[in-house]
Amino acid sequence: MQFDIWTKALPELPIDCLAVGVHEEGELTAEARALDQRCGEKLSRLLKRGDFSAKPGETWLVTDLDDVAAERVLLVGLGPKADLVRKAWRKSLSAAIAAAARTRCASLALALPRPAAKLLTDERLGRAVAEITGNTLYRVNDLKSAKKPRPHALAKVTVVVPAKSAAAVQAGLAQGEALAAGSALMRNLANLPGNVCTPTYLGKTAEGLAKTHKSLKVKVLGLAEIKKEKMGCFLAVTQGSEEPPRFIVIEHRHPKAKNQPVVLVGKGITFDTGGISLKDPPTMDEMKFDMSGAACVLGTMLAVGELNLPLNVIGIVAACENMPDGRSIKPGDIVTSAQGLTVEILNTDAEGRLILCDALHYAKRFKPDVVIDMATLTGAIVIALGTHHTGVFSNTDALAKELVDCGLSVDDRAWHMPLTEEYGEQLKSNFADMANVAGRDGGSITAAAFLGKFTKDLTWAHMDIAGTAYQGGAGKGSTGRPSALLLEYLLRRASAR
Ligand code: BES
Ligand code: MN
Ligand code: ZN
């Protein structure tokens, strides 16, 4: 998709389709009025008939307005005037893009009224436009044999803004394009079934990123190298699987970066059966999404490479399956982590923390400024927060607050969860340094506390994305979250450098 900016008079804009807003009260926005006055108030007359309700997300296509250069004008419902906040704006924008994509328009201009600058800066506006365009036009990568429907014809989106905003919006559009590309990669990987998106496949995808993005260097460790690293917990999870594990390291270095790296760590369980502590059949298929954290790391590294951010960023992915087998770990088995702590595996379904603890330990060699892991770690976080907020845990309150604030400013929300010593004490074992589970109470917090035992000397945050990274039910599929939150965090660091 190509993006550009128009700062001149609206009726003069040569375009296949020009989207303007209408308030639910039936009132034209300033942009729509500019066209209306040119064409002899055809739009006003149309609205007076009352056919178009202008609810957010509703659209109405009008063609051949006299003295208007655009071939088509798309009226876009904004909802009540007082409600023009980010949520309604995002919805209207997405509806305009979807409506244009249903036509044969190759170019679309967006002249919708924007939320107040204090709610959405020019740069974030540009970013959101490109992000929403990518998300709206995303088609699920299904493996259906029927011929794919005809693709949309949209090739260019023009954003109408005042001249003083042009430079910042342009910069935001570039960020949004990178974000859309990263989030599409995440969604494609997560949507693929476990028999296609294996640890090997993730490793190959990472190697592909290094080919297309100059700044990225990739290293993929196989079983022998993982053994050499003494990642006893990671090895314990993979030992019941025929599918070989992969440990993936992607480095982005920038000559202008002054700080130590940010390390992003992703849980890459390409299928989670639960192992010997087998899960129940209903919705077990959704455990193909258990590599969403890994997919988000790959997508974010793609965006970082695409923008060549002036930062050092390292992505780490531990990828394997969790399967029941004659060689699988059994409840009660004790293994030794790379850090040296021993773990009694009371429940083989609490496998995410086992692979992550070794990955987090590996991160220490980079002497990172900050380590952030992403994982579909617990069902308990879905009970706690539902599907709206990602759970953020950290040993550094300021980092958790920053991540929550990042999520808020880009509509990819997160919530700060507690992580005090008591939760860690619940992981006591009679036979090892700790157990891998601690009962149902506060399940997402005890899981985070387990990871906390391996990150004591790091500035670290953990994001439990079990509720936010994918949807079940009729709209089953990856959401791309929390790619937007993470990129916001990295962009803030890049500009604070
Ligand atoms: N991958 C699951 C967590 C999960 C559950 C993600 C539901 C998305 C939806 C994780 O490996 C797991 O099985 N966790 C257990 C932990 C328990 C055994 C302490 C859980 O949440 O039930
Ligand atoms: Mn599990
Ligand atoms: Zn899992």
* The predicted structure's pLDDT at residue 411: 97
Average pLDDT of the residues in 307-333 = 98
Task: Give nearest CA residue, ligand 1 atom 7.
Answer: 379
pTM over 0.85: yes
Please report, rounded to a whole number, the percentage of residues in the chain having pLDDT higher than 70: 100
Tell me the per-residue pLDDT of 411-431, one tens digit each, with 9 for 90 and over.
Answer: 999 999 999 999 999 999 999
Question: Which of 94, 101, 111 has its CA nearest to residue 28?
Answer: 111
Ligand closest to CA 286: 1
| pLDDT band at 352; cut points 50, 70, 90 | very high
Q: Which residues are catalytic?
A: 279, 353
Question: Which of 322, 314, 331 has its CA nearest to residue 235?
Answer: 322
Task: Give nearest CA residue, ligand 1 atom 17.
Answer: 350
Cα torsion for 250, 416, 285, 204, to the nearest 10°? 0
Sign, Cα dihedral of 48, 52, 56, 58: negative
Mean pLDDT of the chain: 97
Q: Answer yes or no: is pLDDT of 85 > 90.
A: no
* The predicted structure's pLDDT at residue 5: 98
By the 8 A CB rule, do 247 and 221 touch? yes
Residue identified by tokens 């244009």 is 100
* The predicted structure's pLDDT at residue 81: 84
Q: What are the backbone dihedrals phi and psi of residue 38, each rounded to the nearest 5 degrees, phi first?
A: -65, -40
* The predicted structure's pLDDT at residue 123: 97
* The predicted structure's pLDDT at residue 82: 75
By the 8 A CB rule, do 484 and 374 touch? no
CA of 352 to the centre of ligand 2 (A): 6
Q: Answer yes or no: is pLDDT of 247 > 90.
A: yes
By the 8 A CB rule, do 152 and 137 touch? yes
Q: Answer yes or no: is pLDDT of 32 > 70.
A: yes
Cα gap 469→390, rounded to integer Å:
8
Tell me the per-residue pLDDT of 33-49, one tens digit each, with 9 for 90 and over.
Answer: 999 999 999 999 999 99
By the 8 A CB rule, do 298 and 315 touch? yes
Tell me the per-residue pLDDT of 187-216, one tens digit each, with 9 for 90 and over.
Answer: 999 999 999 999 999 999 999 999 999 999
* The predicted structure's pLDDT at residue 249: 99
Q: Maximum distance among all alpha carbons in the chain?
A: 84
Ligand 1 cavity residues, CB under 6 Å: 272, 290, 347, 349-352, 376-380, 382, 437, 443, 466
* The predicted structure's pLDDT at residue 286: 98
CA of 274 to the centre of ligand 1 (A): 8
CA of 63 to the centre of ligand 2 (A): 55
Which of 74-88, 137-151, 157-171, 363-377 bottoms out in mean pLDDT, i.e. has the lowest?
74-88
Report which secondary-structure segment, H or E, holds 43. Answer: helix 42-48
Tell me the per-residue pLDDT of 382-395, one tens digit each, with 9 for 90 and over.
Answer: 999 999 999 999 99
Which of 80-84, 168-172, 268-272 bottoms out in mean pLDDT, i.e. has the lowest?
80-84
Report which secondary-structure segment, H or E, holds 416. Answer: strand 414-416
Q: Answer yes or no: is pLDDT of 101 > 70.
A: yes
- Residue 124 per-residue DSSP state: H
Which of 12-21, 73-82, 343-352, 402-411 bottoms out in mean pLDDT, i.e. has the lowest?
73-82
| pLDDT band at 497; cut points 50, 70, 90 | low
Query: What angle, rounded to 10 degrees, do the helices at 199-212 and 292-307 form?
Result: 0
* Residues in CB range of 427: below 8 A, 6 or more apart: 434, 435, 436, 437, 438, 446, 449, 450, 453
Probe target for ligand 1 pocket from 349, 381, 441, with the most ligand atoms within 8 Å of CB: 349
